[in-house]
Amino acid sequence: MDYTLPEDSLFLGFDCSTQSLKATVLDANLSIIASELVHYESELPHYKTKDGVYRDPSGNGRIVSPTLMWVEALDLLLGKFVKSKLDFGRISAVSGSGQQHGSVYWKKGSLLTLASLNPEKTLREQLGDAFSTKESPIWMDSSTTTQCREIERSVGGAFALSQLTGSRAYERFTGPQIRRIFETQPEVYHDTERISLVSSFMASLLIGGYASIDETDGSGMNLMDIRQRIWLKGALEATAPGLGDKLGELAPAHAVAGLIAPYFVERFNFKKSCLVIQWSGDNPNSLAGLTLNTPGDLAISLGTSDTSTTFEIAQVFGITREPQPRLEGHVLPNPVDPNCYMVMLVYKNGSLTREDVRNRCAEQSWDIFNKFMEETSPLNGGKLGFYYKEHEISPPLPAGCHRFVLGNFTDDSIDELKAHEVQEFDAPPEVRAIIEGQLLSMRAHAERFGMPSPPKRIIATGGASTNKTILKAIASIFGCAVYTVQRPDSASLGAALRAAHGWLCNMEGCFVPISCMYENKLQKTSLSCKLSMPAGDAQLFSRYTSLMRKRMEIEDHLTQKFGGGKIVI
């Protein structure tokens, strides 16, 4: 069935990220018709942030952002749309993305302020006193290791917490952050009537009331039962007293948070019927923005992630029906399908680490790097490399390089071979080793999460997704076709798509699969995926399977030997 969006309607998606507030506007054909951006550091210099954040100079890992800066960014961004003559009256629905895990503390009595905003004044002028702390802890904060261990202990250990909530306790997750505030600033905690995530905070501004936390972003808190999608009593109790009351209800991502507040109708001429669809996290919305919607689909970001530009992170997203949380990685509800889950693996060593090898071995040239890839054969003659410029998350290993060679390597039987460590490789195999190493690791970790092997298809994004030699390696190692997409900002685009999707679900009075909204539309827009590399050879894929197992044996060994350090991302 083809679900049509009203011809004249527009859908607005925001992305309140670490360094900027962005927005993308789609028309009813899902074509991008406008976009705007407010860069915090340069356009709101009076907050004196660096890259949108304050880093505690004492080196305790505390990293926060001024909450009011996000409010003022919204004033500014809407002002930019006024200047560019966006017709607010055509917007049928709005949604947004928030940097995940960040939290906002609304002071007692603020609901009243929020519900009676004066359209003659800016939001900033009216909300300066609405927060019990002016500083929101954000995802880059790593000051809560003690709280993480306390919470894990209270619910039966790291694995038990992961099984229940989709992730073990991480320093940046909201539960440990709330606990730290409760322990170190009890007066702030007690003076707080509502705790929002960045996503539900921005939605609250738009509806003039407290918006629910959506089930998808809610799973980045270490507080939600991912299967039942309710707050987990034991985790709430392990975090801070009376927390459930301060968090409010959860809501599915496609639900309506509320109608746009009269403030925006009067000040910007939004129509009264404009819906605010639940905001969600930037990563879930990126998944939506990549139009990843079928179980078995996998997306690989091959560049500085556009949700995390402050330092590099490579990510793998997948969709699965059965959540199988582990000690590494994260399982979240899927923002566009309440019957499915999203798997997220986060790597700290991606394109910058590849660049390092290029600079060392390929005269700083991608052409030479690619030539070395072409000159070497798949499986690299049994040479396996582990390259960590930064402390890695998946697997948890400190910075360093490890190189191994499988003895008597022939193409047919890998399983029986023994690996021995070497100090270096020649330049061409070193180049292949980093590419194959990163991809084999992504494949292995995705499979451990229950992702099918081979995946149905891979969508590759980010800088290196234009590199054909890398795409060829992906197609061979993962054994499936590789598609590429061009996305200026997948998180705000995903939010705009979710605004349209939420509008449709509300219209139909039930959940509508997002694929119905895409029917016959994506091909006509810049959102369609392009087949860039057909699936690799089946026999080669199965040899890579054996090589991957070998690699994982070595990786497990390395993790036992060097792992166990602090994992803070």
Applying CB under 6 A, which residues contact ligand XUL? Answer: 17-18, 99-101, 139, 172, 220, 281-283, 307-308
b/e map of 180-195 (b: 16 or more CB within 10 Å)?
bbbeeeeebbebbbbb
Q: Which is nearer to ligand XUL, 73 or 130 (CB)?
A: 73
Q: Which is nearer to ligand XUL, 70 or 88 (CB)?
A: 70
Q: Which of 270, 259, 266 is nearest to 91 (CA)?
A: 270
> What one-letter code names the amino acid at 423?
Q
Q: Which is nearer to ligand XUL, 99 or 196 (CB)?
A: 99
In the bound complex, what is the minimum distance in angstroms from residue 281's beta carbon to ligand XUL?
Answer: 6
Q: Which is nearer to ligand XUL, 72 or 141 (CB)?
A: 141
User: What order of strands is seen across the sheet that includes strand 54-55?
Assistant: 54-55, 63-66, 135-137
Q: Which is nearer to ligand XUL, 98 or 428 (CB)?
A: 98
In the bound complex, what is the minimum distance in angstroms from residue 74's beta carbon to ligand XUL?
Answer: 17
Question: Does residue 281 contact residue 138 with C-beta atoms inside 8 Å?
Answer: no
Helices within 466-565 (DSSP H only): 468-478, 490-508, 514-518, 538-562
Q: Which is nearer to ligand XUL, 172 or 498 (CB)?
A: 172
Q: Which is nearer to ligand XUL, 196 or 283 (CB)?
A: 283
CA distance 144 to 178: 9
CA distance 160 to 164: 6
Q: Which is nearer to ligand XUL, 63 or 275 (CB)?
A: 63
Q: Which of 105, 133, 280, 130 is nearest to 208 (CA)?
A: 130
How are beta strands 314-320 and 213-214 bridged, if at all?
A: unpaired
Q: Which of 196, 9, 223 is nearest to 106 (CA)?
A: 196
In the bound complex, what is the minimum distance in angstroms from residue 241's beta carbon to ligand XUL?
Answer: 27
In the bound complex, what is the minimum distance in angstroms from residue 315's beta carbon to ligand XUL?
Answer: 7
Q: Which is nearer to ligand XUL, 220 or 454 (CB)?
A: 220
User: Cα angle vertex 473, ends 471, 477, to 5°?
Assistant: 120
Question: Does residue 392 contact residue 312 with C-beta atoms inside 8 Å?
Answer: no
CA distance 23 to 80: 11
Helices within 186-281 (DSSP H only): 186-190, 198-207, 215-218, 233-239, 243-247, 262-268
Q: Which is nearer to ligand XUL, 307 or 476 (CB)?
A: 307
In the bound complex, what is the minimum distance in angstroms from residue 336's beta carbon to ligand XUL?
Answer: 18
In the bound complex, what is the minimum distance in angstroms from residue 15's beta carbon to ligand XUL?
Answer: 9
Q: Locate 96 and state its tokens.
A: 């947004």
Question: Does residue 131 contact residue 105 with C-beta atoms inside 8 Å?
Answer: yes
In the bound complex, what is the minimum distance in angstroms from residue 349's beta carbon to ligand XUL?
Answer: 15
In the bound complex, what is the minimum distance in angstroms from residue 404's beta carbon to ligand XUL?
Answer: 31
In the bound complex, what is the minimum distance in angstroms from residue 459's beta carbon to ligand XUL?
Answer: 18
Q: Which is nearer to ligand XUL, 101 or 521 (CB)?
A: 101
In the bound complex, what is the minimum distance in angstroms from residue 95's beta carbon to ligand XUL?
Answer: 16
Question: Does residue 549 contact residue 35 with C-beta atoms inside 8 Å?
Answer: no
CA distances from 265 to 13, 247, 444 (A): 17, 28, 51
Q: Locate 295 and state its tokens.
A: 């179980």
Greatest distance between any 2 Cα atoms in the chain = 78
Question: Does residue 480 contact residue 552 with C-beta atoms inside 8 Å?
Answer: no
Q: Which of 332, 306, 351, 321 is nearest to 101 (CA)?
A: 332
In the bound complex, what is the minimum distance in angstroms from residue 100's beta carbon to ligand XUL?
Answer: 3
